[in-house]
Amino acid sequence: MQTPNHLALTKIFKQKTALVIDDFPDMRGSIRRMLITFGVENVDTAANGEDAFAKCKENTYDLIVADYNLGNSKNGQQILEELRHKHMLKNTSIYMMVTAETTKSMVFSALECQPDDYLTKPFTQTVLQKRLTRLILEKEALYAINQSIDNLNFDQAIDLCQQRIEEKDKYEFRCKKLKGNCLIQKKRFKKAKELYEQVLDERNVEWAAIGLGKAQLALGDIDQAESTFSNLIANGCLCMEVYDYLADIKNRKGFAEEAQSILQSAIEVSPFSIPRQRMMAQISEGNNCFGDAEQAHRKVIKLSQNSVYESPEHHFKLARCIATDISQNGLKDNKRLKEAQEVIRLCKRKYKSNKDVNLQSEAVLANVMASAGQKEKSQQAIEHVESQAGDMKTQTVALQLEMARSYMVAGQREKAHELLVALAEKHADDPDICDAIDQISDEPLTAKGKQKAIELNDKAKQLFANKEYEKAVSLFGQALTHYPNNIGLNLNFILALVRKMGSTGASQEELDRCNAARDRISHITDSHALHERYQVLCKHLEKLSKSFEAEKA
Amino acid sequence: MSDQQPVEFSMLLASSVHDVKNSLAMLIQSLEQLVEEDTSDERKSKYSILRGEASRINHTLIHLLGMYRLQTERLTVNLQEVYVTDFLEEQVASQQLLFDVNNISVVVDCDEDLTAFFDENLVAGIISNVLVNDAKYTKDSIRIEAKPTKSGGICIDVIDNGDGFPDSIIESTQSDTIDHSARGIDFSSGSTNLGLYFAQQIASLHQNKGTQGTIQLSNTESGGGKFTLRLP
């Protein structure tokens, strides 16, 4: 072993700083001793996740060796995810996971959250040394690429990857993977798709299939993406990101129940992802599963504490969710109302020095009160906000949106409409605000929303003419995720489903989807232009339900 | 997964394996420290027995868990690009003490830049099991050769210079699949061939474009044993 190479390597080890994470003191000590033998001078240790974060806040480590199983604390994978998320672990550094298992049972929530290497217990000192040496050499060879990625200079990283790929050495495949990630980051989806297809042509590797699915989805090939992700799951892919994407696709296609159950299974395995919990809350609320939605909302609040995700909006969403539950299910007792009030109270306390958040909280409270039938108190809250909010021009968009929601729930539809139209005019170029506006209003108010509604309508008419009811259902379902309150859209959705059941037979799932759509627009008054159609469809639906019940019996 | 009981058993099995592996890790590391401190040949050979048996316990554990997985749920293969030279040298390094004490020279013959796609952990279980066996049966040398195949796969030979495999065992790997119920596992003779069965199963789980991995046992012209693993 005493080759010149060995000396050079001791030198490399010497410059590294290392952290060993293991809950078992003997193992911790033992790995630490080994690293010191290799020449590493600075080796810190941590017994659990909390310890590890504290150490990582103070130091930047070149090398982290973490056990997967850390007793009751976060596991090695969760620590990795959080470190990556908080940008506390550079791509030029090494994260090695030590596991007791020989088979693939580690769940990683995203492709970017795989450790650089897994080492299986029991291992000897020589094996650890060989592994680390290999990894250090690889990180050295790809240093410039990883550094560009750390600096978010993806264009440069892509060029560097291409240069390395052309050298056709043993890092060729590694560089293709890195290049694919960078292309996705830069939203160059066509290029990414080409790269992944070319890799998959040679070899069916998971990362390339996941990348391909992402690119397909981004390019709008929803059906292709769906089949890519479904195949991955069928083949035992443990990347939970794939579940998220598939759920998103199902939801977009209007299969919200299926989307919810996919997310549910992903959450059971990996409950710590905030985006996943957020999607779960949104979809289950749309499915009228308020218990699930509430649980997810609460999880989001808890997980985002002290993180970049923290926002009063999470509290508002939870309170609104409870409010919708109260009004939709006609809950008369005060228990739920008190729960919603408590959510708002905590939010106000948390952001007590922020006047705008306090006003928004008040507006949400008005919404909650109106939902519980306490009209007077709701009106008082609304008036209070109006008197405190000052001139329209100085109000934040968030506050105005919140007020529009409350007007809507309190039955002041004209006021809501007026406010939303003004917002739509002023923020025509901001897609996020436009989406929020159209989600609150009955009809699309923004130019973009109107355009989209016309397009969808035309497309669906054609599908109807061709008797392609299933496709029409899927199209309306997609549109409903954007404009859940749109009356015309909900009616068309019901009509398409009724027609579809007329040709293929009814099912409980489809009837449930019809009823949910009907409930969403049950506030429609007889003066509304579409009221007659609404009543006709309700009758159709009733008939279908009855004959379905009779058949079942 | 529909039945409640197997899930609980699998949890139990997994956590037991975890515990035993922690113990094994400590045992092996303490042993290696002892070897460093105490270099007398007589002791060393005793340490090597301990080390060899610790490896056997570990392999049996891996096989047991793997078998259980094969039969109950799906044992999924995690295909990854592996640097073959590093991988093979690592397998040798993990049994170095065994080779040192028994004066066995081990040579790895493989192109430095050769990479292949397989499940590193599962295949490591196969190769190190073969190495531990070879350490017992070879005379004084083991040669590991790895070459790419024409179809983009890899072929790994582990060749010793002992007395070769008995015909009965060679035959058992020549049938399409090793039938463990009929002849592979023979509890009365004490040789379970569980390792071979496991190796065969793991090899065949590796698939690419319609071909699957295989294992083969044979004897060389000079009489030594040769274990061959082909992965697509």
Structure tokens at A295: 């649980």
Residues 6+ apart with CB under 8 A from B155: B146, B147, B148, B149, B228, B229, B230, B231
Q: Chain A: nearest CA to B140, how far in angstroms?
A: 21
Q: Chain A: nearest CA to B96, how far in angstroms?
A: 9
pLDDT per residue as tens digits for the range A160-210: 999 999 998 889 999 999 999 999 999 999 999 999 999 999 888 999 999
**CATH 1.25.40 residue window(s) in chain A:** 447-552
H-helix or E-strand containing A203? none
Which residue carries 């640097």 as its tokens? B83
CA distance A366 to A383: 9
CA distance A207 to A355: 47
User: C-alpha distances in angstroms, B7 versus B15, B68, B76?
Assistant: 12, 11, 17
Among the partner-chain residues B66, B79, B94, the one whose CB lies closest to the CB of A102 is B66
Among the partner-chain residues A27, A202, A206, the one whose CB lies closest to the CB of B25 is A27
pLDDT per residue as tens digits for the range B178-227: 444 444 444 444 445 778 888 988 999 898 888 999 999 999 999 899 99
Radius of gyration of chain B (CA): 18
Cα–Cα–Cα angle for A125, A131, A132, nearest 5°?
90
* Chain A interface mutation, best of B16, B17, B18, B22, highest count of A Cβ atoms under 10 Å: B22
How many C-alpha atoms does A445 have within 13 Å on its Cβ side? 24
pTM over 0.80, yes/no: no
| 3-state secondary structure string across A129-182 | HHHHHHHHHHHHHCHHHHHHHHCCCHHHHHHHHHHHHHHCCCCHHHHHHHHHHH
CA distance A373 to A326: 9
B14 and A174 within 8 Å at the Cβ level: the answer is: no
User: C-alpha distances in angstroms, A100 versus A70, A126, A135, A407, B17?
Assistant: 12, 18, 20, 58, 7
Residues 41-60 of B with CB under 8 A from A: 54, 58
Q: What is the pLDDT of residue B185?
A: 43
What letter represents residue A63's amino acid?
L
- The number of angstroms, rounded, from the C-alpha of A415 to the middle of its chain's C-alpha atoms is 33
Q: Strands (DSSP E) along B97-175, which ranges?
A: 105-109, 115-118, 141-148, 154-160
A124 and B32 within 8 Å at the Cβ level: the answer is: yes
Which residues of chain A, if any, have pLDDT below 70?
1-7, 101-105
Residues 6+ apart with CB under 8 A from A378: A366, A367, A369, A370, A406, A410
Task: Assess B24–A contact: CB distance below 8 Å, yes or no.
Answer: yes
CB A190 within 8 A of CB A218: no
A236 interaction partners in chain B (CB closer than 8 Å): 74, 76
A121 and B93 within 8 Å at the Cβ level: the answer is: no
3-state DSSP assignment of residue B49 = helix
Which residue carries 């554990």 as its tokens? B61
Q: Chain A: nearest CA to B167, how far in angstroms?
A: 31
Among the partner-chain residues A118, A131, A236, the one whose CB lies closest to the CB of B76 is A236
A238 interaction partners in chain B (CB closer than 8 Å): 76
In the CATH hierarchy, which fold is given to the domain comprising B80-231? Heat Shock Protein 90 (3.30.565)
Q: Chain A: nearest CA to B213, how far in angstroms?
A: 15
* Architecture label for domain A4-140: 3-Layer(aba) Sandwich (3.40)
Q: Which residues of A touch B (CB under 8 A)?
A: 24, 26-27, 30, 69, 100-105, 118, 120-127, 130-131, 134, 169-170, 173-174, 202-206, 235-236, 238
B113 and A27 within 8 Å at the Cβ level: the answer is: no
Ramachandran sector of residue B211 (left: φ over 0; alpha: ψ -120 to 50; beta: rest): beta
**CATH 3.40.50.2300 residue window(s) in chain A:** 4-140
Per-residue pLDDT of chain B (232 residues; tens, 9 = 90+): 444 455 567 777 777 877 888 788 888 888 877 877 777 777 777 888 888 888 888 888 877 777 777 777 667 788 888 999 999 999 998 888 889 888 899 999 999 889 999 988 889 989 988 998 898 889 999 999 999 998 889 999 999 999 998 887 887 776 554 444 444 444 444 445 778 888 988 999 898 888 999 999 999 999 899 999 999 9
How many beta-carbon pairs below 8 A join chains A and B? 102
Kindly identify which residue of chain B lies nearest to residue A167, measuring between CA atoms.
B113
Q: What is the pLDDT of residue B2?
A: 44
CA distance B55 to A536: 76
* Chain A interface mutation, best of B94, B100, B111, B151, highest count of A Cβ atoms under 10 Å: B94
Q: What is the pLDDT of residue A11?
A: 81
Residues 126-185 of B with CB under 8 A from A: 152
How many C-alpha atoms does A173 have within 13 Å on its Cβ side? 20
Among the partner-chain residues A101, A120, A205, the one whose CB lies closest to the CB of B117 is A205
Q: Which CATH number fits domain A447-552: 3.30.70, 1.10.3470, 1.25.40, 1.10.405?
A: 1.25.40
A127 and B66 within 8 Å at the Cβ level: the answer is: no
Q: Please, what is the end-to-end C-alpha distance for chain B in angstroms?
A: 31
CA distance A549 to A213: 40
Among the partner-chain residues B86, B93, B119, the one whose CB lies closest to the CB of A124 is B93
Q: What is the pLDDT of residue A104?
A: 59
User: C-alpha distances in angstroms, A314 versus A309, A320, A344, A347, A547?
Assistant: 9, 10, 11, 9, 43
Kindly identify which residue of chain A lies nearest to residue B16, measuring between CA atoms.
A100
CB B131 within 8 A of CB B158: yes
Q: Chain A: nearest CA to B166, how far in angstroms?
A: 30
3-state DSSP assignment of residue B3 = coil
